[in-house]
Every structure is written in structure tokens, then in C-alpha cells.
């Protein structure tokens, strides 16, 4: 099975950014953890590597040889029973647990801000069963995306989950579920929460529960699977899931167009979805990103669909109808996107060169998108140090879409007037951009995240974003995890100012 590494281990010292409240685990607890049969290590290099994810700030730490939060021990269980035993031991001793899969998250969701146990779930790597008649797969949480797709494709006539996130090579099924992830083909297949049919979850006291999973839909009270999907490990540890799958599509078509303005392209996307067409890929880029990615000066729309041939033909006919006023581009533009869509190799070198690069994704109704696009780009460009700010639309639905903002900045020093405590110049700039952009998104009444989740980075925004319902989330956390051991510091639960 695949076991990718975030970055090469660095010989940096743990910093003092986070007060982990831990001076190491007791010999008795370490003995108990080892007695579960799980792999346990307190090797410092392993702990350093496991204590970071793909949050750009974490990449910055790694580039500088720093670790500002360090797990006391990394525990790698290989079964539901071992997970339950580890969690029960931590519950008994009030030891913090940070669940982690491939650590491809981009909001610091797997940074162990309170130390304790980093629960590496990647040894839960079995595909339990595939039901070719009902089109479902039951899979353990630590299975990486490519491994799942290979086994699905090799079964019977061939199947796919249809979930293709940019982090495909680095991410696991449990990670997708933890942050309500989206694949790049989500307009056809949906997000991960649309695919899940049932879960097995270990609760903070070490007991295990199974939710739903008995049919495609159910009216048996609230859907408790969705309570844990998107909870980012703050309510329990997802150990396996039953997901909907699809036969490998028999046909594919590609088209590309150039629009005069980004708003014109958004309107065409809205009309396509309004008519019921759901091409797998419907991505629109502003002038800056079109030039950077495709060498085209207009706003590029790339379209790819895969399905039964009759469905593809009907979908692409609607797309052609609704883009008749745009310039038709060579469909090879789509291939250019496909060949580069998962390349993030430049991130660490840019941070090492003191450039801050980040993406901010959000979702909103079609009626709000043109305005929020203008406001967010304006907010990012107003921050001193911003070199460029741009946008593309990445995931579309009948009622709205996801916008992806990218900003690049370079700062030489931190102003003494900046209200960000001990953050360095790059982190100060980074946080100022996030504050300004999120304020604009929130003011427009839009969702502050579409699929990256909350983690540590967005934790300070969630109470206001959820409004009165945040108190309900706090009540759920207190009821399910009264000792607050599960992924502390995330989702804005508990301490509010950790980062």
C-alpha cells in the first residue's frame, strides 16, 4: 500500500508556539498502548514528520526546519479493535488524540497542538468488500485513493468511486470523510458526503458504533453518519465506510471555451446546470489563471464529461448551446489541465524563498458569486505584500458553485503594529489575507469552506460562520467527548486562539 511522505524529515527543534500541556506520556500508558498490538514509536524524527500536514504554514515550518507542535508518540493501529483499545487508554488517562491519515489536509487539521497521541490510521488499509450488484464498497479509513481505485478498476467489469481530489496520491478515505472532501469530478459524482452510505466510528470512550449502511436512503431518525462526516476527528475516529461506486464510464468528451469576462463564464455555467446537465468537470478560470495555466488571454472554461455515451452526448449538447457566444478553444486545453492538475511541487521552494502561496476555497449561491468574487479579490489585493490574486470556479451545482481564490505574497519584515503576536512576517501576511478574505465571504452570506474544511487555520472563523448553531456543535462535543481529548483545538472548539 502507498505510504507517501509530506516532505523529507528535517532536523528542526520543536518550537514553543503551542503549549502542548504535555511532558511526555507515562511509562504505564506507553506500556498499555504497546499492549494493544498497535505499532508505537516515540522516535523524534518520526514524531516530527507526523506532526505536520500540507497546511502551507506547516510547509513553511518544514522548510525552516521547525516543528511548532509535537506529538509525544505516534501510534499506528491495524484493526478496529486496536483503535478502540488505544482510544480507551487515552480516555482513561485524559490524553489528547489527533487522528491522521495521509496528512494531506491544508488547514492544519492533523497538527497535534496538545501533544499526546498522533493516531496514524494508514495501517487500516483493507478493502473489505465490493458489492457489484448494489454498487457499494466497504473500505477501511486508511486506504489511499490510488489503491482504492486500482482495486475497484480490477473488479468485475471495472468500477470507480469518482472521487479525484488534487491530493489523490497523498490522501485516504478517512481523510476525505473527516473534512467533507470534494474530487475534481464532483459535478458528476458529488462530494464525499454524497457517496457515504454508512460508517464505523470509535467514540472518545473507546466504544465502537456503526451508522446507517442498510440502504441507499433511510428515514430512521437523523442520519448519524453525517454527524461524523466533516467533524475532523473531533467527535470520534472513523475506521471504515461504505461508499457508493459506479461502473467505469464507457464514453468521454472534452470541450474548451474562452469568455470575455469571468462573470460571463459564471453565467454560462449557471445555465448549464440549470438545464440539468452535470458534466464531470466544469472549471472556469479568470484572465490571470488562464494565462498562467493555458497561455490564453480570455477566461478559459474547460469541460469534461464521462458516462454512458447517450448521457455524454446530451450533456455536451447542452454545454455547446449555453456557450455559443464564447470562443471555441482547442480541446487539448483540457489535456493540459489533466496533466498538471495535481502538481504542488513548487510550494515548499516558494516558502523557502519567502513567498507565501495559498488557496482559499468557498461556496455560495449563483446570485452571490459575482459580488463575492469582486470583494474577495479586492480584499486580498489590499493587503500589503500581495503580488497577485486570482480566482477560478472549480465545482458547480444547480444552486451555486465553489470559487477558488489564489494569492501570492512576499513580505520582508513584520510591522510592529500588526496584531498577530509572535507570528513571523510570512505568517503575519498569511493570516491578514485569511482574515480579510473570510470577512468578505462571511459578509456575502456564503460558506467559508466548500471542501478543505476548518482544522486549525479556520477555527477562529467557525463560531461566527455557524452563528446560533455553533452552540449546538459545542453541546454535541461536550456530550460525546466530555474530556475534550479528540483532536483538540480544531473546529473552533475549546480554546479559540491557538493560532
Domains of the chain: 27-120 (3.30.43.10), 127-247 (3.30.465.10), 251-340 (3.30.70.3450), 347-457 (3.30.300.330)
Closest CA to 226 of 212, 243, 245, 208: 212
Q: What is the pLDDT of residues 249-273, one digit of tens each?
A: 999 999 999 999 999 999 999 999 9
Do 177 and 238 form a contact (C-beta atoms < 8 A)? yes
Q: What is the average per-residue pLDDT within 376-389?
A: 97
Cell numbers that stand for 374 in this block: 469582486
Mean pLDDT computed over every residue of the chain: 92
Q: Minimum mean pLDDT among 256-270, 329-343, 370-384: which range?
A: 329-343
Rounded distance between C-alpha atoms, residue 230 and residue 232, angstroms:
5
Averaged pLDDT, 402-410? 96
Determine the Cα–Cα distance for residues 199 and 222; give it in Å rounded to an integer.
Answer: 14
Reported as a pLDDT band with limits 50, 70 and 90, residue 344 is low
Residue 8, pLDDT score: 33
User: Residue 275: pLDDT above 90?
Assistant: yes
Check: CB of residue 399 under 8 Å from CB of residue 388.
no
pLDDT band at residue 11 using 50, 70 and 90 as cut-offs: very low
Per residue in 187-224, pLDDT (tens digit) is 999 999 999 999 999 999 999 999 999 989 999 999 99
Single pTM value for the model: 0.92
What is the C-alpha separation between 119 and 38, in angstroms, rounded? 10
pLDDT given for residue 58 in this prediction: 82
Residue 139's alpha-carbon distances to 125, 211, 337, in angstroms, are: 8, 14, 30
C-alpha cell at 489: 483545538
First and final C-alpha spacing in the chain: 34
Phi/psi of residue 86, each to 5°?
-65, -45
Question: Helix-strand-coil percent breakdown of the chain, rounded to 5?
Answer: 35, 25, 45
Higher pLDDT, 284 or 411: 284
DSSP H or E stretch at residue 332: helix 332-340
Q: How many CB atoms lie within 10 A of CB 420?
A: 16
Place of cell 458547480: 396
Amino acid at each position: 500500500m502507498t505510504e507517501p511522505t509530506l516532505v523529507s524529515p528535517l532536523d528542526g527543534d520543536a518550537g514553543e508556539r503551542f503549549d502542548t500541556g504535555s511532558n511526555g506520556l507515562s511509562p504505564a500508558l506507553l506500556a498499555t498502548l504497546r499492549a494493544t498490538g498497535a505499532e508505537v514509536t516515540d522516535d523524534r524524527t518520526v514524531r516530527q514528520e507526523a506532526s505536520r500536514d500540507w497546511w502551507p504554514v506547516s510547509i513553511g515550518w518544514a522548510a525552516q526546519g521547525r516543528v511548532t507542535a509535537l506529538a509525544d508518540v505516534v501510534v499506528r493501529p491495524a484493526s478496529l479493535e486496536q483503535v478502540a483499545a488505544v482510544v480507551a487508554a487515552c480516555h482513561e488517562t485524559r490524553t489528547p488524540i489527533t487522528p491522521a491519515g495521509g496528512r494531506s489536509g491544508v488547514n492544519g487539521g492533523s497538527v497535534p497542538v496538545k501533544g499526546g497521541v498522533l493516531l496514524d490510521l494508514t495501517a487500516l488499509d483493507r478493502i473489505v468488500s465490493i458489492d457489484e450488484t448494489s454498487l457499494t464498497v466497504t473500505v477501511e479509513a486508511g486506504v489511499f485513493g490510488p489503491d482504492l481505485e486500482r482495486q475497484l478498476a480490477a473488479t468485475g467489469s471495472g468500477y470507480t468511486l469518482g472521487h479525484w481530489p488534487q491530493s489523490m496520491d497523498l490522501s485516504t478515505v478517512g481523510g476525505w470523510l473527516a473534512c467533507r472532501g470534494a474530487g475534481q469530478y464532483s459535478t458528476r459524482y458529488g462530494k464525499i458526503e454524497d457517496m457515504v452510505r454508512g460508517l464505523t466510528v470509535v467514540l472518545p470512550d473507546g466504544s465502537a458504533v456503526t451508522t446507517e449502511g442498510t440502504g441507499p436512503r433511510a428515514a430512521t431518525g437523523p442520519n448519524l453518519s453525517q454527524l461524523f462526516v466533516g467533524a475532523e476527528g473531533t467527535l470520534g475516529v472513523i475506521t471504515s465506510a461504505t461508499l457508493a461506486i459506479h461502473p467505469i464510464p464507457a464514453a468521454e468528451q472534452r470541450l474548451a471555451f474562452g469568455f470575455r469576462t469571468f462573470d460571463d463564464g459564471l453565467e454560462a455555467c449557471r445555465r448549464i446546470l440549470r438545464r440539468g446537465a452535470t458534466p464531470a468537470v466544469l472549471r472556469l478560470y479568470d484572465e490571470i489563471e488562464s494565462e498562467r495555466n493555458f497561455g490564453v488571454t480570455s477566461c478559459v472554461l474547460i469541460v469534461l464529461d464521462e458516462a454512458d455515451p447517450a448521457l455524454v452526448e446530451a450533456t455536451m449538447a447542452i454545454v455547446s448551446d449555453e456557450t455559443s457566444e464564447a470562443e471555441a478553444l482547442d480541446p487539448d486545453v483540457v489535456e493540459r489541465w489533466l496533466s498538471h492538475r495535481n502538481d504542488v511541487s513548487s510550494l515548499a521552494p516558494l516558502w523557502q524563498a519567502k513567498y507565501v502561496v495559498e488557496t482559499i476555497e468557498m461556496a455560495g449561491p449563483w446570485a452571490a458569486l459575482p459580488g463575492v468574487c469582486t470583494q474577495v479579490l479586492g480584499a486580498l489585493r489590499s493587503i500589503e505584500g500581495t503580488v497577485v490574486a486570482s480566482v477560478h470556479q472549480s465545482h458547480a451545482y444547480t444552486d451555486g458553485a465553489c470559487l477558488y481564490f489564489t494569492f501570492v505574497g512576499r513580505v520582508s519584515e513584520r510591522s510592529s503594529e500588526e496584531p498577530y503576536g509572535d507570528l513571523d512576517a510570512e505568517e503575519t501576511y498569511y493570516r491578514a489575507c485569511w482574515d480579510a478574505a473570510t470577512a468578505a465571504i462571511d459578509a456575502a452570506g456564503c460558506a467559508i469552506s466548500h471542501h478543505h474544511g476548518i482544522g486549525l487555520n479556520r477555527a477562529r472563523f467557525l463560531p461566527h460562520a455557524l452563528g446560533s448553531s455553533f452552540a449546538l456543535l459545542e453541546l454535541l462535543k461536550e456530550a460525546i467527548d466530555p474530556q475534550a481529548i479528540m483532536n483538540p483545538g480544531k473546529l473552533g472548539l475549546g480554546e479559540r486562539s491557538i493560532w
